Chain A
Amino acid sequence: MLRRGSVVRRTIATPIILSALILALAIFTVWSGSRPFNQTVIDVLLRVMLVVGLYIFIGNSGVLSFGHIGFTCLGAYAAAWLTMPPMMKGMMLPGLPGWLIATKLPYWVAAPIAATFAAVFAWLFGLVLMRLSGIAASIATFAMLAMINKIYSNWSSVTGATSSVVGIPIVRDLWPYVIAAILCIVIAWAHAISRAGLKLRAARDEPVAAQASGIDIPRERLVAFVVSGWVTGLAGALFAHSLGVVTPDTFYLAMTFMALSMLVVGGMSSLSGAVLGVLVLSLLIQLLRGLERGVDMGGVALKIPNGLQEIALGVIMIAILMFRPSGMMGNRELVWPRARRRRAADAAPRSSTNTQPTGVHR
């Protein structure tokens, strides 16, 4: 858009700070040298990708989507198809076309292809879904998730139905996940400051005025839907490589709930909120998991019932929605401390008469 340079300068701090956070976490992990911790951090990075992907669509459009985990499923299975040994594919998934069975790509080539596969489906679904608004759109995305899940749970010759697809090359190295997570953050930032992102946020704030300004709302939503479909699809592909096993139900309600609660807690319309929501809630989940296993405290075993983890997430989400509906970040982004002061001074001579309650700070 116009004055591209100045927009980049004013907003570049956000992706830099967030990437630095991710890098710091990664360096700490490598330094600690702990295998289980390494796996935990890989999970965190995958969630960062998922939630950032959700943010691209939900944050900018204001339309809640329950369906993006469907793209994660598409990405994960596509990665499996492209990277499993041909022999195993021939036995487990005989319905795949011959050329696909014969293909075996390295994971880092397969992952972007798998993400693009998910993005193509996001485009196809989006052509229909983006014409809807508000609650109708949200419910339609949920229907999309259910459809994808049902197809993948039943098409046994192609997806192995509900049985696990095994033999996907496992990637235990941390750095590919770090790079992918930072890539997703940069994509989200680039989309947010692009003309498409600007128009979409205008449409989120005031749909009628946006249309009157010549903004084609379904089109801008579709752009964000496809970009976020790509990012959540990439997360799915890497998810498959982090475990080596996929089943359709891995990518269903539990994952949707977790990703959405992280986005809500962090702040739905803030990229920084998306990343921080993941980091904070992941820490909490880790603590609760430890407690579910039981901790020995001076001879007294402290153990909480299984499932309390999900309940705690739910309680936190409700509390945030009640007391701080715009999330931890309150629609703001992380910026350099000096820039924040300058911006605050800029906004200082405000009038008390007509301030809007939401979506004000960005």
Chain B
Amino acid sequence: MSLLSLSNVTVRYGRLTAVRGVSFTMAEGEVLFVTGPNGAGKSSLLRAVAGVVAPAGGRIDLADHDITGRSPETIARLGLSMVPEGREVFGSLSVEENLLVGTGMHAGTRGWRARCETDLAAVYATFPILKDRRRSQAGLLSGGQQQMLVIGRALMTNPRLMAIDEPSLGLAPNIIDQVYDRLTELRRHRALALLIVEQSSTRAMMVGGRMMLMRGGEILLDGDARALGQSEAMQSAYFGYGEH
């Protein structure tokens, strides 16, 4: 059974079509990079999956639930956690409050409090810097720390699938390395599926996993990241020369 499946999903903003009839499936624990040039529709695809924009057509299923057009908070409850582009921390809240604010959706269920503590400890173990800064205002953290905070916040909801929009945007290369180290570590330990949007395919080639290349709202290529990255088809699809 697939964890996430899209069939013929279209996203429109007014008369502009950002995603044109995209279909794919993702398995439990899989890493999938969506790459492509600016304006390829990568972020729109991610936003449709997370419910931030309602798709104009098609169907999206998350673990046997039809989530097409459902609200983001409902989808979050079903186990998809989105990390939006631009490291949107809750700037006026403390680091720890940022982490705890999303856990309320399971409030009241048995053992919720204990699970919160365990999850919090796990996030602090993964990102020790967050523990050191837990009383600080999230808005005062550095860019890399904020990226770790939003990933930690997404983890607190215990997702089966984490959708991350451009985690490397605006970060220094060594910080990007750290972020990806943590992500791959998490995937290994938690059997967490990752759907990552990145503009450049180099990161996907380094990390490995599956890669899809989008252009003009469609998926042009889909395959193993390392194999695809070296192929000529990739080059021509990305830059759009050749017969395209």
Contacts and interface: CB of A to CB of B under 8 A. Distances in A.
Contacts, number: 128
Q: Determine the main DSSP class of B at the interface with A.
A: helix
Contacts of A354: 87, 141-143, 146
Interface stretch (A40-48, A209-217, A305-313): A209-217
Contact of B93 (A198, A214, A216, A353): A198
Given A355-B140, A360-B140, A361-B137, A205 B90 contact: yes
Interface stretch (A110-118, A241-249, A344-352): A344-352
Nearest to A204: B92
A208 B83 CA distance: 9
A297 interface: no
A354 B137 CA distance: 12
A346 B136 contact: yes
Looking at chain A, what size class is its interface with the partner chain?
35 or more
B137 A205 contact: no
B93 A201 contact: yes
Q: Determine the main DSSP class of A at the interface with B.
A: loop
A340 to B, nearest CB: 13
A359 B76 contact: no
A206 interface: yes
B147 to A, nearest CB: 10
A210 to B, nearest CB: 7
Contacts of A355: 139-140
Contact of A351 (B91, B141, B157): B141
Given A2-B100, A2-B117, A354-B142, A202 B71 contact: no
A269 interface: yes
Interface string B88-115: 1111110001101111110100000100
B167 interface: no
Question: Looking at A331, A353, A361, which has the most chain B CB atoms within 10 Å of its CB?
Answer: A353
A269 B92 contact: yes
Given A2-B100, A202-B90, A202-B101, 10 more contacts: A2-B103, A195-B107, A202-B98, A206-B88, A211-B51, A212-B50, A350-B140, A354-B141, A355-B139, A360-B92
Interface of A: 1-2, 195, 198-199, 201-202, 204-206, 208-217, 269, 331, 343, 346-347, 350-351, 353-356, 358-362
- Going nearest first, the 3 A-B pairs with the smallest beta carbon separation are A213-B102, A351-B142, A211-B72
